[in-house]
Chains A and B, each alone.
Chain A
Amino acid sequence: MKRRDFIYLSGAAGAGAMVLPGFMAMGKPIEQEEALNYVDVRIKKELADVALNTAKSKGATYADMRIGRYLSQAVITRENRVQNVGNSESYGVGIRVIANGCWGFAAGNAVTKDGVAKIAERAVAVAKANAKIGGKPVQLAPQKGYGEVSWKTPIEKNAFEVPIKEKIDLLLTANGEAMKGGASFVNSMIFAINEQKYFASTDGSYIDQDIHRIYPNFSVTKRDVEIGGFESRAALSMPCGMGYEYLTPVESEKVHGVVTRYKKRYDIIEDIKNATKNAGEKLMSKSVEPGKYDLVLDPSHLWLTIHESVAHPTELDRVLGYEANYAGTSFLSVDKLKSGNFHFGSKNMNIVADRDQAGSLGAVGYDDEGVKPTNFQIVKDGVLSNFQTIRDQAHIIGLDHSQGCCYAQSWDDVQFQRMPNVSLAPGKTPLSVDDMIKGVEKGIYIVGNGSFSIDQQRYNFQFGGQLFYEIKNGKIVGMLNDVAYQATNQEFWNSLVAVCDERDYRLGGAFNDGKGQPSQSNAVSHGSSTARFNGVNVINTKRKIG
């Protein structure tokens, strides 16, 4: 295909190069077809050897380098028009070294032999400057070199190959359905990410990876001018480690109930019609009576609670105090882990970590310090059984290897400990959502994630949601509004009385999870089946500002 034909078929490629806050800011706009041009792996290997040799010659005892080409595409619409189409590329080199026992890192976008050599020199200079401060020398878990290897996200359809016109048409069709349904406003968007990462280290690894992620989302708002109120409902899609195939609806991947939810295929048209109806229902719904309720939490909601209350506090660097100045530490400790009898939750709580769930955001072949990840259990039958680790901290909990939890958001950010997929295992006893609800006398069924906040040691949290349904005597009797639940971490997880079986298992996830200083974004999935928590404190969030 000729370039001009490609652009023509792509419709609005490159139109509007506005920076998207929190999403496109790190890149430069490019045309769509540029995304399909990969950098030759032989060139990358040559550059890697220059960088590693330079670092060693300047005094580094260990060095790794990442050549990263990070592509992101955003198609953003509002009602009947395109607000922005952005194709962005960020390309450069990050080099990390140990010199005089201390870490140093430098990055730049001069991807030439001379350029990477200078970056390697700067990284060593940074390490040597920091070594003067003192502290324990870095201790790395041993890691064998893998030689020249590669890994790619198993996708059916590369989102970057799909013409932008097709994406615009889909979003504007969806918006049209919302407007037909009486929406006052609708915003919809498709985000796509492609990380082309080349990692090399003095251990002898040369790892080429091609990672894909996609996230369709929308927000539908209905307004009541007279009362001056408005209500919104966001998409029940999940950000995922898939290609454009995620946007092809498949009936068997739908979960029907009070509202349709989705597994590994998403129907944006159906969801936006439902969302428009839901936004109207929310305007008319009853404000919740504060008090204790049994909560039935859908995976589209529960993923965020797992993320904040289980996944973050089980990061070893956070436990040790490495995040103390930003998001804080953890209520967990190495001693609690080593005791072997710290009851994080009830016996129904089984938390597993992986980097290989199909369609998940955390799926990779190797992490960003050249480790092939392992799957491990974090909580077994309610008892804390492991933390997430990387190479320079594994020894602290007696491990002789990293579990592959290292990640950097881009080439110009230093890699550090980031969570893999962390999920609640489904119940082993057959249990459907309907049967779970039948057993609830006074409860709230929550679908979709909303507001979230948790303290700096992950004890006290508060979560909202998208949709709240009142349960009375085993039946859903209507919609509620202004709901948020507050709880203390261990108390909450010890109130977990049942988890539906694997038939209901679904992933949710965070497309942009922040951690570190400077703050970096990570994408991670959290799976679960619907779960029931008894006697949770619910507050009413309605306020008037005059």
Chain B
Amino acid sequence: MPIYSREEAQALLKKVLSYSKADECEVSLRGNDGGNIRTALNAVSTAGDISTVGLAVSSVYGKKAGSATINEFDDASLEKVVRRSEELAQLAPENPERMPMLGPSTFKDSIEYNPKTAAITPDQRADLTAKCLDVTKAAGLQAAGFLENTTRFEAVANSKGLFAYDKSTDVIFSVTTRDAAGTISGYAARGFTDVSKLDTASATRIATQKALSSKNARAIEPGKYTVILEPVAGTYMLENMFRFDARSADEGRSFLSKKGGGTRLGEKLVDDKVSIYSDPFNTELPGSTWNGEGQPLEKIDWIRNGVVKNLSYSRYWAQKKNVAPVPGPSNIIMEGGDMSLEDMIKSTERGILVSRLWYIRMVDPQSLLLTGLTRDGTFYIENGQIKFPIKNMRFNESPVIMLNNVEALGKPERSISVESYRSYLIPPMKIRDFTFTSLSDAV
């Protein structure tokens, strides 16, 4: 039984807490159930079906804590795990940063769970994959793809009366389409809470069209260009700056640190057009309504009209700085405009359309300078039209500098990071003076 209902989880956690003799005790129960299917060369390469569940107990005496975990849930085992955590807590060193556990709180129900996604079977995964392969075979191309669905639950209770429960689902799909000779390549990625929104055939058609359009790519000189980043490209680039942590900023080792000390809270950081926030109740990108510390999560602005509006403060750091704690983001949404991708292209005199970026790594954490490359569909734009496909290029650019050079934003779309697979709502972006530093022959 890897997915417990709220009532089942609450009953089990209540029983575990009844054994506690510590100053404070927290119990958490987590489980997941799901599967995946991976394809290459238009056939299945690997596939799996996985389910796990586990229970953890943390006991606290003053500022000393100890933890233990089991995956057996008979009464004797439950009592034993509580005693072990208590014994460990009494022997542990004091942690000066340890904060007392939080008491009861009201958490709104999350909207992260979809029964259709939770009910996905191996046959359904195979069918969704077959639809993708039908498209590539018809186009004379080869698909390499990945589809994964997960149902998760998490429940936490403590001796101060806190109880929180959350259940969520998601399904992600991505596909790369190439010809047998490896001369062209296209890509599409989708992520949803509700599997009925997933159309693997239509996503594959986009990847196929990208691939076919990228034939006979030409080399252009690296340098500074206006770029139009499609959401999947922008997501991966911006993911590296979605850490609005006050402590590292206060400590002077973040792009949010201020010269001479302090943070950039309240300061203008990026272009006026940029607003970034979190909202667990966004229907396109729902998130958890509470975090691991038992704090409710609500809508919160991180950047509003280019100004840093909030930084995340852990309870310990908030106390040290004498401010209210601010929980970190449960999801990230970037507002956009109403310009379509086509209109962005039409309004571009000379620029580059970027479908996807790859292998982004931090070069300098002070400026947030990143390096990476374009991939799977890069096109030259001239006088408002896509003129020809171009060879891939390496960039060295900071997302902070990039967001200071915003020309236009389109309608936000749910897109996934091609490396972390986290979902975000990100608009297509038109950015001036994006720095490319070298050419790549990679297809």
A residues bordering B, Cβ < 8 Å? Answer: 4, 7-8, 11-17, 28-31, 81-82, 89, 91-92, 102-109, 122-123, 125-127, 129-130, 132-136, 168, 184-185, 221, 223, 225-230, 320-329, 331, 412-414, 416, 451-460, 462, 464, 482, 484, 486, 488, 516-518, 537, 539, 541-546
Contacts and interface: CB of A to CB of B under 8 A. Distances in A.
A228 B262 CA distance: 10
Interface string B27-53: 000000001111111111111111111
A8 B93 CA distance: 11
Interface residues of B, number: 99
B178 to A, nearest CB: 6
Contact of A17 (B49, B58, B359, B368): B58
B159 interface: no
Contact of A29 (B47, B49, B56, B251): B56
Contact of B93 (A82, A228, A484): A82
Contacts of B441: 331, 457, 459-460, 488
Nearest to A137: B43
B77 interface: no
Contacts of B187: 325
Nearest to A15: B92
B44 A412 contact: no
B437 A412 contact: no
A460 B37 contact: no
A416 to B, nearest CB: 6
A325 B47 CA distance: 15
Contact of B358 (A104, A107, A331, A456): A456
A125 B126 CA distance: 11
Greatest chain B CB density within 10 A among A11, A125, A129, A464 is at: A129
A454 B41 contact: no
B373 to A, nearest CB: 5
A11 B49 contact: no
Given A11-B91, A17-B69, A129-B125, 17 more contacts: A7-B87, A13-B91, A30-B69, A104-B47, A108-B51, A129-B121, A134-B43, A223-B252, A324-B176, A326-B146, A412-B52, A456-B358, A460-B440, A486-B394, A517-B36, A518-B36, A543-B401
A516 B361 CA distance: 18
B278 to A, nearest CB: 19
Given A227-B259, A486-B437, A541-B396, A15 B359 contact: no
Interface in B239-293: 251-253, 255, 257-261
Contacts of B226: none
B97 interface: yes
Nearest to B71: A109
Greatest chain A CB density within 10 A among B45, B371, B401, B437 is at: B45
B147 to A, nearest CB: 9
Interface in B50-78: 50-54, 56, 58, 64-71
B362 interface: yes
Interface string B339-372: 0000000000000000000111111101111011
21 contacts: A14-B66, A15-B95, A28-B56, A105-B46, A106-B48, A125-B122, A129-B125, A133-B43, A133-B129, A185-B251, A227-B259, A321-B144, A322-B144, A412-B50, A451-B361, A453-B359, A455-B373, A458-B442, A459-B440, A460-B373, A484-B363
B261 A455 contact: no
A323 B70 CA distance: 36
B38 A517 contact: yes
A92 B145 CA distance: 27
Contacts of A456: 358-359, 373, 375, 442
A35 to B, nearest CB: 13
Contact of B88 (A15, A323, A545): A15
B122 A28 contact: no
B326 interface: no
